[in-house]
Structure 1
Amino acid sequence: MPVLSTLARQNNAFTDLLSNIADVIEFEEYDLDGFDEDYEADKQPVCEPVDLETLSTQEWMENFRFTKVEADKLIVALDIPNRILCDNGASEPAQTALPMLLRRLAYPARYHDIFRSFGWEKSRFSRVTRTLAAYLYRRWAHILYFDPHRLNHKKLAEFAQVVYKKGAALKTVWGFVDGTLRRTARPVRNQRILYNGWKRIHALKFHSVCTPDGIHSHVFGPVEGRRHDETVYRQSNLERILDLYSYSPDGSPLVIYGDPAYGLSSLITPYKGSHLSSDELQFNASMSKVREAVEWSFGEVIRQFAFLDFYKNQKVLLQPVGIFYVVGILLCNAHVILHGSQVSTFFNCSPPTLQEYFHGTAEDAKRAQELGYTVDFTNVVPGVLVTDDDLQDGEQLE
């Protein structure tokens, strides 16, 4: 797939962030709950892992946000290997590893409570969820960044028509860009890197372009919470994407719409000022009505995966906060595909199928990483993924 060569020359903000505030060893020495694992293990009763096949559809939806049938489809669509092998040798089949990750993201819970509910041992659960999240990021982040195969000229023109029919003043807007701050716990070191003086919180910043089918069609981040939206926009190289792909089939330019904070000529934004004409006010009102979609899309991520909104457990020094949020967006897109969303209903625009959205090979993802689309988090989240065919004769998975 085409890759933006200029992006490869940019230093990734999150890589710089990690190098400034975290040593990898801390990632392995601590866990989310802050308790000593050996001490906790001595107190934990023996609990057999729950048989996921016995759970009802309602229990699957409540705990994992997908049904059992949908989870099986996701394993295939997400190209998850047969078994997930962690750096310490622990492994789980894909049919267990994906529900583990979904449960982690679905709602805040202590490891001990998850153990009592599902029988998933604390350290094993933590390692498997981190390893699978890292794999999903590496495998599919290039799709989240931008997918010119799905978002071709014809599809972007269709989106623009849908937005216009809903009352927009322009016929050329196919998506809406906005940034979001994801609050984190206060780090014990280098707090100023994450501190956002406007909101007075420590946070990571992301931005996204949402389309009328309810899908986050371009996601960039995380970067330091102190950065301005305009800085994030420039680091994302989104302007180059628009230059390359944002056209209708007849060659006429299409645009995305953002709030005034961006202040960039390449984006369509509302008129600013206290003395606006009636036409300008009418333009702002019509575009504001349809622009709410991007805020609904960010809200959908948190509604489905509430763990991402529990800032006290978003500890940048101790866990892959950025990966979890990006993977949460990826899984939220899958949820929109299977269940629809407020945005797709509002615009009456059907999302793609799983097969249309999740496409491309692992080689495509690797090439995107080499050319700068994505970042290799292997050193941050150790672990490899294997299939049964990768084992040597007589070798056993734990």
Structure 2
Amino acid sequence: MQRTMQAPNGMNNQGTKASGLEVLCICLRRLAYPCRFADLSQMFHRPKPELCVLFKVGIDFIYDQFSDKLTNLNQPWLTVPQLERYCAAIHAKGAPLEFCWGMVDGTIRSMCRPGHLQQEVYGHKRVHSLKFQCVVTPNGLVANVFGPLVGRRHDAALLNGCGILEHMQQHMVTPAGDEMYLYGDRAYPLTPNLMRPYRGQITEEQQAFNTEMSRARNSVEWEFSKIVRLWAFLDFKKNLKLFLSPVGKLYLVGVLLSNCHTCLHGSETSQFFGLNPPTLEEYLY
């Protein structure tokens, strides 16, 4: 972060100044556990209006500087040689698929009932929510996030809108010409770049396939759990108010910070597949 950050004019007569480290600490503390700015005021010795401004400045800065890590698949740790390592790690854990480099799934993030568009954000799980689609690699990182969309949209709608399959067709092919693919749950369609479990009346072999792939697909659920475990504020729906706070941006920043935590300390996914994530410097820069 920049050493000094200037808050927007008009919050007070002289503006609000703080070091980048202090702004980052405010953001981390606010996201780590549901708390009021009055509680943070005693910790950081700043009035509530200043803390509110600095929190927004910090969230905006992190998102503006690093959100491409969640949307741009042209990353040094997503090159074809790296993807081949991911495929080998997943296959080595018993997964029948040989060229699966990651797991894809949608996640619903509950929020407070909004004053507008209530029917649009009311999903099939009977909560008001926003929906994201995440791709998790076996080194424990969330490689791609698409969203937010309103909570009532189907997972297939997120898949059609993200454009990841088109990117994979062009750039994620082994030197031998084999196309790589993702693995999702039954909600997704079957395509050359996306595999899913067998459905309907299936044989014992097909059931065995589903079972083995399900063990590997649990990694995406582990990462969803880690995000809200590290940043409990994102799981406190009473304080996530659409049109009053950047609910979608807060979750995306939480994903970024979780990836940074994985780079420093690893994760359950990276330990399960035996792959180390990139260093923090390699991930961010």
Structure 2-normalised TM-score?
Answer: 0.94
The share of aligned pairs that are identical, in percent, is: 38
Matched with 2:116 is 189
RMSD: 1.2
What stretches of structure 1 of length at least 5 have no aligned partner?
Answer: 1-79, 360-398
Matched with 2:261 is 335
Identify which of structures 1 and 2 has the higher relative contact order when contacts are C-alpha pairs closer than 8 Å and 6+ apart: 1
Cα offset for 1:232? 0.9
2:127 aligned residue (201, 221, 227): 201
Note if 1:114 corresponds to 2:40. yes
Look up the equivalent residue of 2:186 and give its one-letter code: P
Matched with 1:156 is 83
- Equivalences, count: 278
Cα offset for 1:354? 1.2
1:131–1:264: structure 2 CA closer, same or farther, 3 Å change rule?
farther
Note if 1:223 corresponds to 2:149. yes
My pick for the range that moved more, 108-117 or 298-307, is: 108-117
Cα offset for 1:244? 2.3
Q: Residue deviations 1:183-215, cap 9 Å, x none?
A: 01001122112111x111100000100000100
Matched with 1:319 is 245
3-state secondary structure, aligned to 2:242: coil
Matched with 1:38 is none
Distance 1:250 1:139 in 2: 36
Matched with 1:376 is none
Q: Which has the larger radius of gyration?
A: 1
2:228 aligned residue (293, 299, 302): 302
Cα offset for 1:117? 2.9
Look up the equivalent residue of 1:162 and give its one-letter code: A
Note if 1:82 corresponds to 2:8. no
Look up the equivalent residue of 1:175 and give its one-letter code: G
Distance 1:318 1:244 in 2: 40
Mapped contact 1:157–1:249 kept (Cα < 8 A)? no
Matched with 2:282 is 356
Give matches, 1:166-315, under 5 Å.
166-196=93-123, 198-265=124-191, 266-273=193-200, 275-315=201-241
Distance 2:155 2:125 in 1: 13
What stretches of structure 2 of length at least 5 have no aligned partner?
Answer: 10-14
Distance 1:108 1:149 in 2: 33
Q: Residue deviations 1:250-279, cap 9 Å, x none?
A: 332111100010124241000001x21111
Cα offset for 1:241? 1.9
Look up the equivalent residue of 1:223 and give its one-letter code: L
1:323–1:277: structure 2 CA closer, same or farther, 3 Å change rule?
same
Look up the equivalent residue of 2:213 and give its one-letter code: M
Structure 1-normalised TM-score?
Answer: 0.68
1:119–1:249: structure 2 CA closer, same or farther, 3 Å change rule?
farther
Distance 2:3 2:16 in 1: 14
Look up the equivalent residue of 2:40 and give its one-letter code: I
Distance 2:266 2:129 in 1: 29
Please identify runs of 4+ aligned residues in structure 1 that moved more than 6 A: none
